[in-house]
Every structure is written in structure tokens, then in C-alpha cells.
A and B are shown apart, each in its own frame.
Chain A
Amino acid sequence: RKEVEQDPGPFNVPEGATVAFNCTYSNSASQSFFWYRQDCRKEPKLLMSVYSSGNEDGRFTAQLNRASQYISLLIRDSKLSDSATYLCVVNGGSYIPTFGRGTSLIVHP
């Protein structure tokens, strides 16, 4: 079983839609969690950290369920500019970030 698993998609949604991505991780000792965004042929950029209490940044909401070992990212009111690959990242006990393969989002007019 992979350490971090994501549905690769692609998720193809219209502008204004709400879309949710899930990610599961295998190491129960994982300490910290993140979502990164990666545009085509660019480097990953930190989108947001994920806290146990859940956190929101504008149209983006991240949640963590430690008991079930999954993380989610919700994007409301999708924009064309949200089209990208979203990478789930988990810091295990060694604090080395482990990346999922990413979920591709395509927002169309």
C-alpha cells in the first residue's frame, strides 16, 4: 500500500462548481499535513496546511480525520485559474514530506 494515495482524476468541473479531493495515508504516526498546488511543468507550491480542527482559506477548506487517516480539500466556486494538479503531502515520523501522485483538476467555462 502506498504511503499517500490520491485519486488522480482528472476532475472536470464547470466554473462555479464545488469540488472535493480526498487523500489517504498509511503512517498513523504522521505529524503534519499539507496541500500543494502544481501547475503544468511548474514546481509545487504550498496551498495550505491541514490542521486537526480543519481550516479555511477563502474558497478552500482543508480537513483532517486522524482516526480514518484521510485528508480532504474542498474548493468552492471554482475558477478557471484553479485548474492545476493538487498534491496531498504528509510528514511522517521522520518529518520528510511524502507526496501523493496528485489529483488533476480542470475547470471549464
Chain B
Amino acid sequence: DAGVTQSPTHLIKTRGQQVTLRCSPKSGHDTVSWYQQALGQGPQFIFQYYEEEERQRGNFPDRFSGHQFPNYSSELNVNALLLGDSALYLCASSLAQDRDYGYTFGSGTRLTVV
């Protein structure tokens, strides 16, 4: 049973560059959520995709954008990278109808901006 897979696992980018992170949800899941986790902090909600549309968005600037494909996989794009964007980016998948169940997380992409 394939869990949530994310790529790449690690990434180093320069300030001002753009980055794309990818996520494949757990088999059977149709909803993908993205979180940013800075060192020593809990994951912060970026946005959630369902039926190829952004359903909910957290308090993140427009530099953060995303996409969901027909096969439920998703991408997170960050433009004009800042040093403060350095963090672990987590993708979580779930089934829209199972709202009371927890999410399954991928192992994350560790982004370092230099």
C-alpha cells in the first residue's frame, strides 16, 4: 500500500529563485494538504486541494501556489524565495468524506534557501 510520496527529499535554492515540490497522495485519497514546518515549530497549513481546486488557504502570501492533477497528485510552487522559506514542507493526504480521520503525511521535502 503506497503511502504519501514527496519529491525531492532535499533541495537547496538561492534567494529569488522559484521551486516546485511534488506529492503523490496515499492510494484511495483524494485530498492533498500542504504544510510548512520551521525548525522547532508545528506544521503550518498552507493550502488544501480537492477536485483540482484550492479549497482552503492558510495565512501564506501569493508567492505560494499549488496545483492538483486529475490523478490527485499535487505540486507546491514557491516564487521569489526568501531565506525565511527554509523549512520542511509536508504533504498530507486524506479522503474528503472522512473528515474525522487524521491525515497521512509524506516524509517531506527539506528546502534550504541560501
Contact = CB atoms under 8 A, between A and B. Distances in A.
Interface of A: 4, 6, 8, 31-32, 34, 36, 41-46, 49, 87, 89, 91, 94-102
B61 interface: no
A46 B45 CA distance: 17
Interface residues of B, number: 24
A102 B42 contact: yes
Interface string B64-102: 000000000000000000000000101010000001111
Interface in B39-65: 40-45, 48, 56, 58
B90 A91 contact: no
Contact of A97 (B40, B41, B45, B106): B45
Nearest to A95: B99
A43 B106 contact: yes
Contacts of A45: 105
Given A43-B90, A44-B43, A102-B42, A97 B103 contact: yes
B33 interface: yes
